[in-house]
């Protein structure tokens, strides 16, 4: 796997430049997989997944979202989405996808979103499903249900998700693998939520992802895979991710697969059964791309 980095203009006109990773396979790429990471983390955490994708022949693009990682530039900017706010983060998905297509014209593009990245991907797909050849939602949920539980005037508090679990570090909700949890806690670019302004923008923008009228705009031949752990606090025991899949089916999307892994928590790519999860995602991509 060959890793290169660059910066590209964001999807808004606010001057933000997105720090972008590209992981390339040996030989010609069969398709593009675009990764959208979650809240309070960064794209470099997906190198292991990218390795599996490149070994399967995919070229992988992943940006650090605005307010995250090397796009943020400093810890003081963590969680701040800037003047463009949540909508700009959603629009940035289009900027990354357009850049990937410019470098690899004529091959399919799949969008993989995890957690907050999957929320943004759900919103992006409402208007831009024609730009995608497949959609994978990991650690996702029925966004309108979850954001209704957030205080729109306060910073998003990730620690609240740990209430059902042991409190060794406060981040046990992420994975049953203690080494993965410890690596997250030790990473200075992880563990924060969106600031109050960005939280309000997200809370106001995401309810449309559950609107049947908006979902009707998603093209009916877009293959969609929804993967989650049954013990992920966002999954509602699996019911909320099943709801996501059913909403797409009700909107007329013909190829929707929902897989819930028993006992797995939020970061299924870093879970004890991560090899199974990765293999299932690769099988889906191989079938639809």
Instruction: Verify whether residue 232 is a known catalytic residue.
Output: yes
Contact 81, 88 (CB under 8 A): yes
The domains located in the chain, with CATH, are 2-288 (3.40.50.1820)
Cβ neighbours around 277 below 10 Å, total = 22
Residue 37 phi/psi, 5° resolution? -75, 175
pLDDT tens, position by position, 204-235: 999 999 999 999 999 999 999 999 999 999 99
Q: Is 4 exposed, middle or buried (0-12, 13-18, 19+ CB in 10 A)?
A: exposed
DSSP secondary structure code for residue 52 in this structure: H
pTM of the model: 0.97
| Active-site hit among 12, 24, 115, 228 | 115
| Active-site hit among 63, 92, 133, 232 | 232
| Active-site hit among 78, 99, 104, 266 | 266
pLDDT tens, position by position, 151-188: 888 888 888 899 999 999 999 999 999 999 999 999 99
Contact 138, 115 (CB under 8 A): yes
């Amino acid at each position: 796997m060959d890793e290169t980095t660059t910066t590209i203009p964001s999807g808004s006109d606010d001057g933000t430049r997105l720090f972008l990773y590209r992981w390339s396979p040996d030989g010609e790429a069969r398709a593009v997989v675009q990764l959208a990471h979650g809240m309070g983390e960064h794209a470099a955490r997906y190198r292991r997944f990218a390795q599996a994708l490149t070994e399967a022949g995919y070229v992988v693009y992943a940006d650090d979202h605005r307010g995250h990682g090397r796009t943020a530039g400093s810890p003081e900017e963590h969680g701040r989405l800037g003047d463009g706010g949540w909508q700009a983060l959603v629009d940035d998905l289009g900027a990354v996808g357009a850049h990937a297509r410019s470098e690899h014209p004529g091959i399919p593009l799949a969008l993989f979103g995890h957690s907050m990245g999957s929320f943004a991907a759900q919103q992006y797909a409402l208007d831009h499903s024609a730009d995608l050849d497949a959609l994978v939602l990991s650690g996702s949920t029925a966004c309108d249900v979850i954001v209704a539980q957030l205080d729109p005037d306060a910073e998003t508090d990730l620690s609240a998700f740990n209430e059902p679990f042991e409190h060794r570090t406060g981040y046990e909700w992420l994975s049953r693998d203690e080494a993965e949890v410890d690596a997250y806690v030790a990473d200075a670019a992880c563990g924060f939520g969106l600031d109050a302004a960005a939280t309000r923008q997200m809370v106001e923008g995401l309810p449309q992802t559950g609107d049947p009228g908006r979902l009707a705009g998603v093209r009916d031949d877009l293959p969609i895979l929804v993967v989650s752990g049954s013990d992920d606090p966002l999954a509602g025991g699996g019911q909320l991710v099943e709801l996501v899949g059913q909403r797409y089916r009700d909107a007329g999307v013909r190829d929707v697969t929902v897989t819930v892994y028993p006992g797995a928590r939020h970061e299924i790519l870093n879970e004890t059964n991560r090899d199974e999860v990765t293999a299932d995602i690769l099988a889906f991509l191989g079938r639809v791309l």
